[in-house]
Structure 1
Amino acid sequence: MEESEFNEAVDSVFEALELALDEVEEDLDYVAGGGVLTVTFENGTQLVFSRQPPTRQLWLAARSGGFHFCFDEAVDDWRNTRDGQLFRPFVVEQMRAQGGVYFAWQ
């Protein structure tokens, strides 16, 4: 994947995530800028999503650990480098587990 394609893929997932976060009823804040999207929950914890151009990965820092995702063109989603789990369902689970936030993100 070329760097421009990588950046477009990350921008796309950040935009989709922001749209989904806008629909959440629970109280949370998010800020995007400089290749990082930070979600802060009412309980004070954060999820930090960041682009990593040198490795062409999308990283997620959560209370449960740090996770790295590579883009899988076959499914048009990012895949966890540890266990192969897809990014979107993983994020939905992390939002619920860490912040008590429930939302649908397809």
Structure 2
Amino acid sequence: MTESEFYDQVDETLQHIEEILDEAETDLDYRNAGGILTVICENGSQVIFTRQTPVKQLWVAARSGGFHFDFDSETKRWVRDTDQQPLADLLQAVFSEQAGETFSFDL
């Protein structure tokens, strides 16, 4: 994956997450600045998404820890580098835990 393709893939993923949050009837706020998407839960906790260009990974920081995702070009989805867990599955767990919200992330 070229750097340009990586940027496009991360931007598309972050935009899709924003759309899911916009469509949900929830009190979650978010801001996207400089390629960093920060989701602020009603309880003040945050979920932060950052692109890591040198290693071509999408990083997610949550209360439960920091997670690194690689883009799997065969399945066309982000998977955790340690156990291949899909990003969508992790996000469902993280938002349930931190925000008490249930989302269906189709990423």
Give the TM-score, by structure 2 length. Answer: 0.95
d(CA) in 2 for partners of 1:15, 1:26 = 17
1:57-96 to 2 correspondences below 5 Å:
57-96=57-96
Structure 1 outlier segments of 4+, above 3 Å = none
Q: How many aligned residue pairs are there?
A: 106
Q: Structure 1: give runs of 5+ residues left out of the alignment.
A: none
Q: Structure 2: give runs of 5+ residues left out of the alignment.
A: none
d(CA) in 1 for partners of 2:41, 2:76 = 28
1:34-49 to 2 correspondences below 5 Å:
34-49=34-49
RMSD: 0.8
2:52 maps to 52
d(CA) in 2 for partners of 1:86, 1:74 = 13
Specify the SS of the correspondent of 1:47: strand
Deviation, structure 1 residue 31: 0.2
d(CA) in 2 for partners of 1:78, 1:104 = 15
Give the TM-score, by structure 1 length. Answer: 0.96
d(CA) in 2 for partners of 1:23, 1:41 = 16
Specify the SS of the correspondent of 1:43: coil
